[in-house]
Amino acid sequence: MIAIEHLTRRFGDATAVDDISLVIPRRALCALIGPSGSGKSTTLRMINRLIEPSAGRVMFDGRDAATIPDLRLRIGYAIQSVGLFPHWTVARNIATVPALLGWPRARRDARVAELLALLELDPALARRYPHQLSGGQAQRVGVARALAAEPEALLMDEPFGALDPITRVGLQDELRRIHRRIGTTIVLVTHDMEEALRLADLIAVMRDGRILQAGAPADLLRAPVDDFVRDFVGGGEAGLRLLGLHAAGTLANPHVDADGDPVPAAATLREVLSALVARRADAVHVADADGRIIGAIRLHDIMNLAAQTDAS
């Protein structure tokens, strides 16, 4: 668990982060989101003390981060511009922190192989140099490097911001899969609300160095505290984004029939609605991962769900 307590950072006369507090539960994926200059990156860097707080503290499982030796060796760190070491091979880059921690060679090599597999990177890339990688590959290597020493937490500063949309969505899916598998607490800075909604189970909306609202994605969409949060989180698409939080499988009704190709159970209700509109249909089949039809979703099931969540 990471507890941010009254954290403040001043640069000269300017206050970049102004007395914020936030509790990030163990194994959570927390997104810090806000416009440029809202203090989200400064907050992230105070968690691993790349920036010293002017006031307040960060607690890791009840321990003040300022008193933890080798703090940064125990927290993974991945940034948008990746910052791979150009004079080292991919394997040596990934093994950076294990090498600093003095892991024996065999353990490091095994870990590199394991991470290449986890991030679905070709094992042959291990001997390449960073300039021989594509942007997406470099970012995967950056994430692998951040995860190498099995850190207690992973900090990511707009890790996918510089990638093209397709690569970005691919890596977001990958991150979600990895997070589910390894369960490390992740703090992610982003300005992309779709990214935050897709990945996070806790979102903190920041502006002018303060946290305006922190909560589960659905809570932010349903009950924004003010107009800024409403616009930032939902914009004109609050309803659609809310549907985006639910998987089709949860609403599939086995007693209903439909025409046409099924949608996968892992698709979001937002995608189901889109499919219904595109097909001008009232209902669509839902198929599980093996392609078996598990039921169908009707347009008014989606409307009912929206009504229920509004009431709750």
Nearest to 19 by CA among 1, 41, 39: 39
**Any contact of residue 122 with another protein (CB under 8 A)?**
no
**Any contact of residue 225 with another protein (CB under 8 A)?**
no
In the numeric block, the tokens 């094992």 are attached to 123
Extended strands (E) in the chain? 2-11, 14-24, 29-33, 55-60, 63-64, 75-79, 153-157, 185-190, 202-207, 210-215, 263-264, 283-287, 293-298
Would residue 309 be called left, alpha or beta, if left means φ above 0 and alpha means ψ between -120 and 50 degrees? alpha
Q: In the complex, what is the shortest distance from the CB of residue 129 to another protein, in angstroms, rounded to a whole number?
A: 5
Q: How many residues bind another protein (CB under 8 A)?
A: 24
**Any contact of residue 84 with another protein (CB under 8 A)?**
yes
Nearer to another protein, 82 or 175 (CB): 82
| Contacts of another protein in 149-168 (CB under 8 A) | 155
**Any contact of residue 268 with another protein (CB under 8 A)?**
no
Candidates 7-15, 29-37, 141-149, 224-232; binding stretch for another protein (CB under 8 A): 141-149
One-letter amino acid for residue 272 of the chain = V
Would residue 102 be called left, alpha or beta, if left means φ above 0 and alpha means ψ between -120 and 50 degrees? left
Nearer to another protein, 185 or 268 (CB): 185
- Binder of another protein out of 17, 20, 24, 79 (CB under 8 A): 79
How far is it, in rounded angstroms, from Cα 217 to Cα 223?
10
**Any contact of residue 142 with another protein (CB under 8 A)?**
yes
Contact 204, 22 (CB under 8 A): yes
Q: In the complex, what is the shortest distance from the CB of residue 95 to another protein, in angstroms, rounded to a whole number?
A: 11
Nearer to another protein, 116 or 155 (CB): 155
Candidates 80-88, 172-180, 256-264, 271-279; binding stretch for another protein (CB under 8 A): 80-88
| Contacts of another protein in 35-74 (CB under 8 A) | 48, 50, 70-73
Q: Which two three-digit tokens encode residue 219?
A: 């809570």
- Binder of another protein out of 100, 117, 266, 303 (CB under 8 A): 100
68 CB-near residues (< 8 Å, 6+ apart): 60, 74
Q: In the complex, what is the shortest distance from the CB of residue 267 to another protein, in angstroms, rounded to a whole number?
A: 36
Q: Kindly state the DSSP code that residue 234 receives in the 8-state scheme.
A: I
Question: Which residues in this chain contact another protein in the complex, by CB under 8 A?
Answer: 48, 50, 70-73, 77, 79, 81-87, 96-97, 100, 129, 131, 142, 145-146, 155
